[in-house]
A and B are shown apart, each in its own frame.
Chain A
């Protein structure tokens, strides 16, 4: 069993697991941080921005260039754990000869579909050759391939829900079972269990124990894992999400009261649901009832609508609301009461509705493309306005760099609800996997806080770290496999009890292996041999081979048995290891020892077989 690590980014994983002749890709995230290497794409040409030198902050790393590690076309299935971890999917489905199936929960698929499309649209709307190059150079994907990739996904009708996979490629999956578990991080997010009858691998990616909107994390099913692959811990181990949420609200209220505008660069789903829910409770108490809230994104409407229809994937409180029936998220009410308005872009209706001061949620959080660039240009010069960063994926200083000098206030309250080190150690203590595999970064404190030994994983035995491009041999040996004994054979078996509670039976059967399922059935009766054939020509084959023997032949009872069978003249001679029995009338020797019996008998086949059978009576057959 091997693990190929294609990504070194701990929260944007891409690993391939080879297990029992199946090849399974676990997530295929796209690291987009290198987008920060590019200049923002303004709506109208900006002489200031275009004069900036093209600056390169650091090397962008893209997951999938290391093709030589593994032939990606051999991948049988791809498991997606949440919609942040599927942006590189089109590359795999379109450019690697991949012919397998992609599995994801329905919300992950639906939300991921438009989240990815959104990313593409944003970068293509701007129709900037440089941005196109970004995608071309790094991913070799075009909008077309993105779209066709998603078409492929729907065609295969791969929207599975929390299910045991027995569907499309049975011959492949006769070997392993795959099931998603709720991970509590986002709508429909999941961890995965990959197991056979005797082995269990858990894949934990982006999980949360906080009570937000998704279904709580299923922890107990992770128990008894042989290997647990751990990725996607919080990127902000020192920031408490609740505190950040409070800070977000108070800064927002302060700015509005002072007559300024608030800009929140964000993704179109995920944390925004929690932000809106928090604001829903906060608006009236903070007297913000008249302030307009705008959500601008090509997929704003879909995102808000889709969030309401996945009751099965929501936390208990929200489920109960659906039973009433009421929309589970309060943003429905915000929209109904016109407090929240959403637009596909700043063109069209928005420009006529736009009133200040206001709060705008829009993307992309990197501040490099999307409508957010426009608002930066519009509001950046006034110190009344505030930009509040909530997404933890991008360094806010890097994101703001090309806009400097800025007069607007800047607040950084990253909200990352994923597991922190404290929570994960507690979790691992509870589920007790035999081995833990995790990104290298988790085995040492972050470089910026090298004294914080609490910001790393300390386990016994120590976790196996992986880096980008490592290939790990996972440390367990498979010893057993499931086989089914068909009823007819089961009935024919003759068990004998060796000691209390332990019985053995000799099995001679025909083995059938199909779709990785093995069955044993009775051997067919041998075809009647043709007598005319010269028997000598063919050595006798077939029939059950003789079993192994165990035990010892006790002297006295054996002599008694011999006597019963008419063999009376026996001379017993004692040797160092046992006895030699001389059957004088028959001129035959029987050598009895603790671990062996030797019968020396010439040309008297009937006698030999009789003695043999008598000896066998005292021995156990295995």
Chain B
């Protein structure tokens, strides 16, 4: 029986370094190729030696699919393709293809230039890697080879995020990447059709959370920012350059305009302008409202939000600063955090999920004293006095959203990745209970095997099909099964289902007629002709709905059964019935007609 195998190399009962291997219909596919923000050693990247111990991966993978540009989904891509070695196609959407290399370059700079690591991928490797990328359009069916096809759906998580349907023959898998089932201020909601995959591989970051309405969260957020500004505090919002940042910028921009606020809003890093530009050019990937109004007013042209300079951090008075990266694990956001942490008037708002091991994760868990790595090996203890707020703005589906997606796609099996084990366990129970399907949550390196039961596609001759359909009457009646009979001819790669007569013709065979004849003795005083006629009327009255013919040459035909009468010379009353039929009508004829003739 055919099987689909799924093995996470990363993101199995964990968030970070998403990388899932799928074997389906003899094809091997890698879904995402991410890095882990919580580690700085080997564990940062997925363990590709699982695929092969000796070198290049090209022979072992048919394609690689990247769901979106977040580094935990694409951060290991140049390492995998250029350093481990992979020359096959890498599929991603246009916006992902545009933005991914920039984030990779950023990541490289931080690791190599700032932390001084060697043996890391180079800028050239990023470029070479991107040359292997084949762009995917939404809803476009892409043929990887003759058997393997892909189709991307809108996932809503960040600009260009996609869910992917992977199909080989009648077997299929859907990988969601990260997705969001509620539209936000700049993106639409994820959508998929009822594709009934064998396995739905879903993220489960917020497996146990059911979030309150977006409006409430937005109001809370604005209230907190506003209060802090009012009392003269500084607000730090660590974000990733693309994604939440734009949503929150739109939110603050409209709020500032409405409230006529004067406190400056800054956006760190040179990426801002560029990032917003991407949103302008890929406006078709944003939500309906922005798309509709972009000609009159482009939502990504901000009036109140200005570029940040390092020196502004020491300026007196209130301000709001968006700084990267979002988990406070390095870079500008961490620098500003260190500067502002000591003042209780200040505030840091964490708008997204923080991976274990990052400063963001620590302060969210209430840690108030942080050990920081200094310039040299000196350790500095940082007292955290500023207010720490968490607002879930990260665009992942919550438990309700995940259930909603299952309802949309109607998978036969469910597989959870990209979440914490305990939370997954809870969601797994809920899914199994509500949908009555198997739900898996493999750990990294653990293989899940799901056997599929694909139906066999066959070409049926239209004559046969139409004949069978006509039998059922003009309207199909689901209660009356229509049985059809035919011959399946299997020749090389083709399978044809035709009527038996056509099969004989196509195969160039002669039909062999098998006939039977039997004599039945009968006592009847009438003449031969009369006897025959009596048999005719007798059968006619019994067999309704059959063709019964009285042929002038002295035979009665019931369908294709021939009945003849003769009498012996000695005793005219002793009639002999000759019954002749072919093998094909045997079950109908002999026993039955014979029994009828005992009159």
Interface residues of A (CB under 8 A from B): 106, 160-164, 166-167, 179, 197-198, 301-302, 305-306, 308-312, 319, 322-323, 325-328, 478-487, 490, 493, 495, 498, 501-511, 513, 518-520, 523-524, 536, 539-540, 542-553, 594-603, 605, 608, 612, 615-616, 619-620, 622
* Residue B460 lies at the interface, judged by CB distance under 8 Å to chain A: yes
Contact B282 A548 (CB under 8 A): no
Contact A481 B517 (CB under 8 A): no
Enumerate chain A residues within 8 angstroms of B513, measured Cβ to Cβ.
549, 595-598
Within the complex, what minimum Cβ distance (angstroms) separates A288 from chain B? Answer: 28
Contact B274 A325 (CB under 8 A): yes
Enumerate chain B residues within 8 angstroms of A550, measured Cβ to Cβ.
504, 509-512
Cα distance, A520 to B503, chains bound together (Å):
19
Cα distance, A498 to B278, chains bound together (Å):
64
Within the complex, what minimum Cβ distance (angstroms) separates A560 from chain B? Answer: 20
Cα distance, A13 to B469, chains bound together (Å):
37
Contact B139 A161 (CB under 8 A): yes
Candidates A483, A510, A602, A622; contact of B483 at CB < 8 Å = A510
Contact A323 B97 (CB under 8 A): yes
Contact A547 B500 (CB under 8 A): yes
Contact B461 A479 (CB under 8 A): yes
| With A523-B481, A622-B487, A622-B503 as contacts: A167 and B295 at CB distance below 8 Å | no
Q: Which of B243-251, B337-345, B448-456 lies at the interface?
A: B448-456
Within the complex, what minimum Cβ distance (angstroms) separates A617 from chain B? Answer: 12
User: Could you name 16 residue pairs across A and B whose Cβ atoms are closer than 8 Å?
Assistant: A160-B139, A162-B137, A322-B98, A323-B97, A326-B277, A480-B496, A481-B465, A490-B456, A501-B492, A504-B487, A505-B488, A508-B483, A511-B484, A513-B476, A549-B513, A596-B512
Enumerate chain B residues within 8 angstroms of A518, measured Cβ to Cβ.
460, 465
Contact B486 A482 (CB under 8 A): no
Within the complex, what minimum Cβ distance (angstroms) separates B466 from chain A? Answer: 9
Size of the chain B interface, CB-CB below 8 angstroms: 79
Apart from A161-B140, A503-B490: 16 A-B pairs, beta carbons within 8 A: A164-B151, A167-B193, A312-B135, A312-B137, A487-B453, A508-B485, A509-B483, A511-B469, A513-B476, A523-B481, A547-B487, A549-B513, A550-B511, A597-B512, A597-B514, A612-B583
Interchain pairs with CB closer than 8 A, number: 249
Q: Which residue in chain B gives the minimum CB-CB distance to A520?
A: B484
Enumerate chain A residues within 8 angstroms of B170, measured Cβ to Cβ.
484
Q: Which residue in chain A gives the minimum CB-CB distance to B519?
A: A602
Cα distance, A485 to B137, chains bound together (Å):
33
Interface residues of B (CB under 8 A from A): 94, 97-98, 135, 137-141, 151, 170, 193, 274, 277-278, 280-284, 294-295, 453-462, 465, 468-469, 476, 481-492, 496-497, 500-501, 503-504, 507, 509-520, 543, 546, 583-588, 590, 592, 595-596
Q: Which residue in chain B gives the minimum CB-CB distance to A619?
A: B512
Contact A163 B592 (CB under 8 A): no
Enumerate chain B residues within 8 angstroms of A493, measured Cβ to Cβ.
488
The 3 closest A-B pairs by CB, nearest first: A163-B139, A596-B513, A484-B455
Q: Which residue in chain B gives the minimum CB-CB distance to A308?
A: B281
Candidates B141, B459, B588; contact of A539 at CB < 8 Å = B588
Residue in B140, B514, B584 whose Cβ sees the most chain A Cβ within 10 Å: B514
Contact A619 B282 (CB under 8 A): no
Contact B138 A161 (CB under 8 A): yes
Contact A322 B284 (CB under 8 A): no
| With A502-B490, A544-B485 as contacts: A600 and B518 at CB distance below 8 Å | yes
Contact B485 A179 (CB under 8 A): no
Contact B139 A595 (CB under 8 A): no
Within the complex, what minimum Cβ distance (angstroms) separates B91 from chain A? Answer: 14
Residue in A478, A508, A548 whose Cβ sees the most chain B Cβ within 10 Å: A548
Contact B94 A319 (CB under 8 A): yes
